Chains A and B, each alone.
Chain A
Amino acid sequence: MILLETVNLRKQFGDTRACDGINFVVNEGEFLSLVGSNGAGKTTLVNLISAHLQPDSGQILLAGRDITFMPVADRIKAGIARSFQIVNLFDGLSVFDNVALSIFSREGKAVKMASLAEHDYEVRRETVEVLGEFGLSSKTEIPAGGLAQGERKLLDVAVAYALRPRLLFLDEPTSGVSTHEKAQIMDTVSSVVRGGHVTAVVIEHDMDVVFRYSDRIVMMHEGSFLADGTPDEIRANKDVASILLGAPLAT
């Protein structure tokens, strides 16, 4: 089933066409990697779908519903969540509170001021569960600002995941960590996401990671899609190889 579809999506910054008529299809349950060189338009595409930016033209459909002009809060309610390339956490709050906040927001409980956050046992239970899945159980009371980089990346994903989205966008979840940690992070992320039946789109630069974990790979180049297929198909694609090696495209 098609979960997300963009129709002729365009976004231009001055002379640069960051998204040049993109028709992006994401199927439910996929673990998809979005790759391409810097400036190819990957982050712009994610920004458009997650309402960080408004498109110049085109449509975005979530499960058939037109969400092109839907504001951020509504889009999240509709089931889209994202993490950010530069880790974006609530550094002054504890690890526990970071995730709990997602759940409070999701449940519409964020406005409650007559009771202590601690006393909402349902939220606490679920927070402990999510933190456990991401391997952060031992760090719950530490302020998010005090974690190591790898743990921060995991927490970043956990916070987005706790919104229980239908579609989760992860913007470079392994950037800035050692190769060893990359595998650990992706192991955790992919098992949790797949286990939770969440459709995921991951922007990633490390092709090893991409080939190892993805069901499907989409490559962007200068605002358009260059290739779209399974890891094997992509491996066999000559254009992709050229881009990756920096050689000119075969005509």
Chain B
Amino acid sequence: MKSDIHSLRERSLLKLVAAAALILLILILVPSLVGTYQMQLLIYGLVTAIAALGFNLLLGYTGLLSFGHSAYFGIGAYTVALVVQHLGPHSMEIYILIGIPTVAIVSALFGYICVRHTQIFFGILTLAISQVVYSLVLKLYWVTGGSDGLRVPRPSLLLGLLSFSGPRGFQQFVTSYYYYVLAIFVVCVIFMWVIVNSPFGKTLQAIRDNEIRARFLGIRIRRFRWISFLISGTFTGLAGILWVPLNGLTTPDVLYWTFSGEIVFTALLGGFRNFTGPIVGGMVFTYLRTYAVATTEYWQLLLGVVLVTLVLVLPTGIVGALAKVGQSLKGKS
């Protein structure tokens, strides 16, 4: 009996690893198949997926809906920009080394304030905090460049081993940066997967499902929510850190509530009740956005309509819908 359960678990784990390996293989082969522009889009897709993955620890697994995750993304981006401003351009590793603790501290601080509250207040509080950050960044223009933002030149990778200048510098940078971000993406996915399947992850889900019962198991609810918030903000902040060197520029837009809405949207699009949903959502959203923004000037309107439709019609997102289709196919055969 016990061995049956074991082998069932191991079989599905093997299937998971096989699928992931296949996807990874495809992603590794991509640069030889597509041009620089497509690679840029893919990098943005991976970055968005990391942000969504972080966001969903809070929503899908802890049951807290944040409307202010743009703050962490933006602070990550601005930290890199300010490092460039005051310490000059450096390697990506320096940016990450300084950036991650910064967003972690900010997430810890904001999280501490926010997790003391229930759903509605939590949501609006996160929105309010991100708006405060936005308005501060906008107003303190002598530090942050105001609405013009701050430029971030191409960093070197691997502690200066790889630097990119000259006529083909940009293409070379994009190719190398693609692998760089891909590697970090894989690390992030593994980290997050371990976290959600750890005792901590199970406890978060318990708190999400039934806060009272969790309390009566001796679990300190607030502490767990706070830690979840911290990890979530840090992941999203890392996405911001990775985003800005490719974008070359950071402006207050990435702190505005509309950007938070996009992060929310990616989780909903992919499906926030499972692990891969945000990843799928992040990648699909990046493509959607690129082609939609080219078509219409009223991107927020489109986003809003699709969001409402998704919630009404497809609340489990793409991955959830695919899973249902898969199950009904299995049932039929």
Does B201 reach chain A (CB closer than 8 Å)?
yes
Which A residues are in CB contact (< 8 Å) with B195? 113
Interface size of A by Cβ–Cβ distance < 8 Å? 42
Q: How many of chain B's residues have a CB under 8 angstroms from any CB in A?
A: 30
Across-interface contacts of B215 in A (CB, < 8 A):
72-73
Q: Which residue of B lies closest to A51 (CB)?
A: B216
Question: A50 interface residue, CB < 8 Å from B?
Answer: yes
Contact A76 B202 (CB under 8 A): no
Which of B74-82, B169-177, B217-225 lies at the binding interface?
B217-225
Q: What string of 1s and 0s marks CB contacts (under 8 Å) between A117-144 and chain B? A: 1101001000010000000010011000
User: Known: A90-B209, A140-B5. Contact between A102 and B217, CB under 8 A?
Assistant: yes
A109 CB-CB contact with B under 8 Å: yes
Closest to A143 in B: B209
How near does chain B come to A201, taking the closest CB pair, in angstroms? 15
Q: Does A18 touch B at the CB level, under 8 Å?
A: no
Does B276 touch A at the CB level, under 8 Å? no
Q: Are A117 and B205 in contact (CB under 8 A)?
A: no
Among the interface residues B194, B213, B224, which one has the most CB atoms of the partner chain A within 10 A?
Answer: B213
Q: Which of B9, B194, B205 contacts A90 (CB 8 A)?
A: B205
CB distance from B16 to the nearest CB of A (A): 13
B1-40 vs A, Cβ < 8 Å mask (1 yes, 0 no): 1100100110000000000000000000000000000000
**Residue A92 at the B interface, CB < 8 A?**
yes
* B216 and A114 within 8 A (CB): no
Interface residues of chain A, those whose CB is within 8 Å of chain B, are 50, 52, 72-73, 76-77, 81-82, 84, 88-93, 97-98, 100-102, 104-106, 109-118, 120, 123, 128, 137, 140-141, 159-160, 163
Shortest beta-carbon contacts, A-B, top 9: A113-B200, A76-B218, A90-B209, A104-B199, A88-B213, A113-B198, A110-B203, A90-B206, A105-B217
* 11 CB < 8 A contacts A-B: A82-B216, A84-B216, A88-B216, A104-B203, A105-B203, A105-B217, A106-B217, A111-B227, A114-B198, A120-B199, A128-B2
